[in-house]
Amino acid sequence: ALAEAQDTPQKEKGTWHAGTCQGCTSWCAKQVYVVGDRAVKIRGNPHSKVCVGASCVRAHMALQQVYDPDRIKTPMKRTNPKKGRHEDPGFVPISWDEALDTLADKIMELRDAGETHKYMLMRGRYTYMRDILYDRMTKIIGSPNNISHSAICAEAEKFGSYYTEGYWSYRQYDVTKARYVLIWGADPLAANRQVPFYSSVWGDVVDRARVAVVEPRLSATAGKADEWLPIVPGQDSALALAIAHVILARGLWSREFVGDFKDGTNRFVPGQTVDESTFDERFTHGVVAWWNLEVKDRTPAWAAEKTGLPEAQILRVAEDFGKAAPRAISWVGGGPSMQVRGGYGSMACHALNGLVGACDNEGGTLVSNKEYTRKFPKPDAFMDDIAKKGKKHEKIDQRGRLTFPALKSGKPGSAVLTNNAADGILNEDPYEIKVAVGYMNNFTFSCTQPDRWERALAKIPFVAHLTTHASEFSWFSDILLPNTHHLFEKYGYVKSIANGYRHVTLMQPVIKRIGDYKTDETEVPWLLAEKLSQRGFDNLLRHYKEYRDPETGKEPTTADEFSLYALKYATQSLWDPAQYKGGDRFNGWEDFLKTGVWNSDPYPYRKRWGKMKTATGKFEFYSVTLKKALEKHAKKHKTTVDEVLTACNYEAQGELAFIPHHEDPFTIGDADTYPFVFVDHKSRLNREGRSANCSWYYDFKDLDPGDEPWQDVAKINPADAQKIGVKSGDTIRITSPTGAIECTAKLWEGIRPGTVAKCFGQGHWAYGRVAAGVFGKTPRGGNNNDLIPAEYDRLSGSTVRHAGTRVKIERI
């Protein structure tokens, strides 16, 4: 493709090349228009059934990213040995050889000392080539410490669907067939997954279905909804339970999915328990137990007090939602989940899908379609005794300890605790980290209480950062390795779901690299493996040589060949006619590369009914799956489930631990000193944390309701603003128990009184000349994470962003 692009004379028409956008986790199939060797335009790839050829607004900013003059174009090394926010690192350019020699020497020092567990790999955004660097390299070197960013993204969302229907991943929503869409703390027109698809069909959705949005802030989606429910932050489970209460009390549940009373008489009478033997349950488990233990008392009147919403609205939404069954979607976003008690919030909101039979059903909530990519070769045979010993150590994020159950997929200690790794490093608990590599991550900005990360990175003797920009993470690094941009400059693939399909979409190099960039997950590990081999440790290189070209059987001999062969290897069943398993058909590799995207077969509705991956095979309102996981964790620590929950800041005791139930929010800061609850939200323009140096981000900032171009505003309800004497345009300081930031006040009715909302994304003091006020010195705006205490939903390991802190506001 690059050769084809280079053959095109500058003045002639360009050509469209397939690629993939990773501006967010939507992972959309794109096409890039290349003239000469430059990318000039981006559009949706019409071949994708997931994105239906559509694009979101922020996709276009990839052009500003790839040609950003502030990109790092060559490897650099730090010359100032002191590390700190106010220490200029004094980076100077070096060659790739010098950079990788240094890193290889540091790794060999650990191997020679039998301390390979003191190596750490930190991962931010990734492609599915990730295992080469994240898993295989870390294991073969001999460390347990591959730490991903998943827990600062939205793992608690997955907790709800896992502990009800056995699915640990993001869902897709069958919106074109839905009659009611109830959205909790998600903004699908702006930020929640598959924005191009949902945006392009939303006009029809609002015509056909009622849409209700639960959020303290008037989001882009709430602005177009039939109902906006500006809830008190952290009270989502109260609302969800009241909706469940109404659905059961008024007989609106799905008989087909949930079952019915044996004699057809509805015994779900508010406040009264029900004899379990009178109910014939079908594809769900524990509906009567759930009613008896929790739902029977959760009336709309009770919820109105908790949520601050009118009782009549709660009743109306509940009835309309129930009447739309089974074409009624309960869409669980980060809002109700990324909270201290968010695991249960996530379960409560997701349980509504079970009540109305929306799970796996037309017009409901769907899981992933089948796809046929292949895992990379296993590393085990290449792990020597040093590696095996090193790998056995406890992980630096302390997952699995009593206060961190981190119950991914039913296993205690299996979910990452991204943000807690900073404390592990700082306290050398369980041990010190000596060599760290980070890629496509910026934890010194993106994690709550990022000052802990500043101190943690400053403490590590050697840090390498694979990055496109000199970000806040780079500032504390010893070596910077310039990285290719995913959409235009590298090979890779990702998978994604929407519209009843799954696609596997390719990245490929389509433009000339204008810097000395290399690819984080493929080229860099290969080159490092060569350096390690030169030092007498060839296990990694021998392992990578197993990634042969499926067409010729040739083993890779260069970094370029390795990245291409690895991609062909992983995707062979999609493009090789001899290995066809399903979905789109191709005539071979070139055909697949040109099209750029494989689509699965359409969604097979209702195939999971009765075969869910839960302990009972059913949709669990009483989660036997969670009970087993919690009991396993309690047994490991020789204690009881009740004590585990208390140690982890949950309120539940006894049987409540295993069902979706209400817990009051756990919010730091007393209401007298800090009168407002802080509301953090995403931008329509956030390419996760990577739009910061794009001028279009600031030019078009008013695409986010309430925001202003080139400003970082805190949105305050006019009634509140009057009480504290603040006007729009005032410079204010927002202070929480853990930090303070400065930004601009904006009076706005689209925010619930008693709360203050601010968009995440600004407040960079590094990253580039646009992103920072003065690069390396002062921030532009304020970083929300400076305000939010480092807290966790400990059952899922997720970092808390919502209902996490109270703040005060002062004019300065």
CA 464/CA 269 separation, integer angstroms: 62
> Does position 700 bind ligand SF4 by CB under 6 A?
no
Which listed residue (19, 23, 89, 413) binds ligand SF4 by CB under 6 A? Answer: 23
Our CB check for ligand MGD shows the closer of 443 and 565 to be 443
Query: Are 412 and 403 contacting, i.e. CB atoms less than 8 angstroms apart?
Result: no
| Smallest separation, CB 56 to ligand SF4 (Å) | 3
Query: Are 629 and 411 contacting, i.e. CB atoms less than 8 angstroms apart?
Result: yes
- In sequence order, the 6+-apart residues with CB closer than 8 A to the CB of 15 are 4, 5, 8, 33, 34
Amino acid making up residue 772: A
Handedness of CA 155, 157, 158, 159 (dihedral sign): positive
Binding mask 195-234 for ligand SF4 (x = CB under 6 A): xx--------------------------------------
**∠ CA 672-721-701 to the nearest 5 degrees?**
115
Binding mask 564-603 for ligand SF4 (x = CB under 6 A): ----------------------------------------
Our CB check for ligand MGD shows the closer of 122 and 433 to be 122
Our CB check for ligand MGD shows the closer of 125 and 808 to be 125
- Extract the runs of DSSP E, i.e. beta strands, from 684-790: 713-716, 731-736, 739-747, 755-759, 772-774, 778-779
| Smallest separation, CB 487 to ligand SF4 (Å) | 8
H or E, element range at 78: none
Which listed residue (58, 149, 327, 627) binds ligand SF4 by CB under 6 A? Answer: 58
| Smallest separation, CB 153 to ligand MGD (Å) | 4
Which listed residue (5, 18, 52, 56) binds ligand SF4 by CB under 6 A? Answer: 56
Which listed residue (83, 118, 401, 486) binds ligand MGD by CB under 6 A? Answer: 486
Q: What is the largest CA-CA distance in the chain?
A: 80
As given in the structure block, the two tokens for residue 490 are 């590298």
Binding range to ligand SF4, per CB under 6 A, among 50-58, 614-622, 631-639, 644-652:
50-58
Which listed residue (687, 715, 746, 802) binds ligand SF4 by CB under 6 A? Answer: 687
SS3 405: coil
Which listed residue (30, 136, 298, 469) binds ligand MGD by CB under 6 A? Answer: 469
Distances (CA, A) of 450 to 404, 435, 681, 775: 20, 20, 18, 18
SS3 87: coil
- Extract the runs of DSSP E, i.e. beta strands, from 717-761: 731-736, 739-747, 755-759
| Smallest separation, CB 62 to ligand SF4 (Å) | 7
Our CB check for ligand SF4 shows the closer of 288 and 487 to be 487
Our CB check for ligand SF4 shows the closer of 60 and 255 to be 60
Amino acid making up residue 27: W
Binding range to ligand MGD, per CB under 6 A, among 344-352, 461-469, 579-587, 627-635:
461-469
- What is the DSSP annotation of 163-198? HHHS--S--EE-GGG-SEEEEES--TTTTSS-HHHH
Binding range to ligand MGD, per CB under 6 A, among 321-329, 478-486, 546-554, 631-639:
478-486
| Smallest separation, CB 691 to ligand MGD (Å) | 9
Number of DSSP helices (H) and strands (E) in the chain, helices first: 28, 33
| Smallest separation, CB 48 to ligand SF4 (Å) | 10
Our CB check for ligand SF4 shows the closer of 192 and 785 to be 192
Binding mask 790-809 for ligand MGD (x = CB under 6 A): -----------x--------
| Smallest separation, CB 195 to ligand SF4 (Å) | 4
Rounded to the nearest 10°, the torsion over CA 714, 720, 725, 727 is 40
Our CB check for ligand SF4 shows the closer of 22 and 762 to be 22
CA 351/CA 160 separation, integer angstroms: 8
CA 565/CA 498 separation, integer angstroms: 29
Please list, residue by residue across 214-224, b when 16 or more beta carbons sit within 10 angstroms of its beta carbon and e when fewer do: bbbbbbbbbee
Binding mask 139-178 for ligand MGD (x = CB under 6 A): ----------x--xx-------------------------
Query: Are 670 and 806 contacting, i.e. CB atoms less than 8 angstroms apart?
Result: yes
Site for ligand MGD in 430-449 (CB under 6 A): 439-443, 445-446
Query: Are 398 and 417 contacting, i.e. CB atoms less than 8 angstroms apart?
Result: yes
Query: Are 486 and 43 contacting, i.e. CB atoms less than 8 angstroms apart?
Result: no
CA 35/CA 13 separation, integer angstroms: 7
Closest residue to ligand MGD using C-beta atoms: 689
Binding mask 385-424 for ligand MGD (x = CB under 6 A): ----------------------------------------
Residue 446 interacting entry, from ligand SF4, ligand MGD, none, C-beta within 5 to 8 Å by type: ligand MGD
Our CB check for ligand MGD shows the closer of 200 and 467 to be 467
Handedness of CA 87, 93, 98, 101 (dihedral sign): positive
CA 690/CA 445 separation, integer angstroms: 11
Our CB check for ligand SF4 shows the closer of 25 and 414 to be 25
Query: Are 348 and 341 contacting, i.e. CB atoms less than 8 angstroms apart?
Result: no
Our CB check for ligand MGD shows the closer of 453 and 569 to be 453
Binding range to ligand SF4, per CB under 6 A, among 55-63, 475-483, 626-634, 791-799:
55-63
Residue 506's nearest CA partner among 387, 321, 378, 373 is 373
Which listed residue (785, 796, 798, 805) binds ligand MGD by CB under 6 A? Answer: 785
**∠ CA 53-55-57 to the nearest 5 degrees?**
170
Our CB check for ligand SF4 shows the closer of 24 and 415 to be 24
Q: How far is CA 520 from the centre of its chain?
A: 20
| Smallest separation, CB 312 to ligand SF4 (Å) | 36
List beta partners, residue 619: 284
Please tell me the count of residues contacting ligand SF4 according to CB under 6 A. 14
As given in the structure block, the two tokens for residue 405 are 């159950």
Site for ligand SF4 in 433-492 (CB under 6 A): none
DSSP state of 400: T
Q: How far is CA 321 from the centre of its chain?
A: 28
Our CB check for ligand MGD shows the closer of 194 and 471 to be 471
Residues of the shown chain interacting with ligand SF4 in the complex, contacts defined by CB under 6 A:
21-24, 26-28, 55-56, 58-59, 195-196, 687
The residues binding ligand MGD (CB under 6 A) are 124-125, 149, 152-153, 439-443, 445-446, 466-469, 471, 483, 485-486, 520, 680, 682, 688-690, 760, 784-785, 801
